Homo-oligomer: A and B are copies of this chain.
């Protein structure tokens, strides 16, 4: 058995392949602009062609990869305008969901959130770019879990993956990383105070901070 087929032994579904592709894009193993050749993916994930094709179609319909007929699929180049637009919609949705967070988060939940924020801090200082993304996903995923509107939650989850397309570009500078870390703790603070307007302001600030490129200078 080669190293390529180490995970998910016998029959990976096309959804699992999709998820692995997204993961590899986040890891940086698949770079923006790179063509996703079906033969390569086939070998990389040790699965059959049809699974690869289904996975790519799924990813395309979720707008996570580009598709050019008779050319193939490729990882989209991060587009600052688009990233900002995704951020704007995410902020809008998460601010709406914030009502549920304040209404439903227990003290125990807040402790869990604090743990996740600590995890992100650790990743920010000592972890890989991928570890940072995973920790950030875990924190925001916990926030989403309070949302009682399933459609709203699904939309937020779908949108999140369409944000900064690659680790390159999300937290480019140490300053941005520190701001993101502090942002998480600020959110927890607002939740503890059960201060909805404050929480919403900080959500907006946190998301727009992570979807706005740092000024060159």
- A42 CA to B177 CA, complexed, in Å: 53
- A148 CA to B45 CA, complexed, in Å: 39
Q: Which residues of B contact A89 (CB under 8 A)?
A: 93, 149, 151-152, 155
Interchain CB contact (< 8 A) of A150 among B82, B93, B149, B151: B82
Chief secondary structure at chain A's binding surface = helix
Q: Which residues of B contact A155 (CB under 8 A)?
A: 89, 155, 159
Q: Which residues of B contact A54 (CB under 8 A)?
A: 57
Q: Is A140 an interface residue when CB atoms closer than 8 A count as contact? A: no
Smallest CB separation, A154 vs chain B (Å): 8
Interface string of A140-157 (1 = CB under 8 A from B): 000000000111101100
Interface string of A175-196 (1 = CB under 8 A from B): 0000000000000000000000
How many copies of this protein are present in the complex? 2
Are the C-beta atoms of B149 and A88 separated by less than 8 Å?
yes
Q: Which residues of B contact A62 (CB under 8 A)?
A: 61
Which are the 3 A-B pairs with shortest beta-carbon distances? A85-B151, A61-B61, A85-B149
Interface residues on A, range: 20 to 34
Interface string of A79-105 (1 = CB under 8 A from B): 000100110110011001000000000
Q: Which residues of B contact A152 (CB under 8 A)?
A: 85, 88-89, 92
Q: Is A162 an interface residue when CB atoms closer than 8 A count as contact? A: yes
Closest residue of chain B to A13 (Cβ to Cβ) is B69
Closest residue of chain B to A15 (Cβ to Cβ) is B61
- A155 CA to B96 CA, complexed, in Å: 16
Which residues 57-78 in A have Cβ within 8 Å of B in the complex? 57-58, 61-63
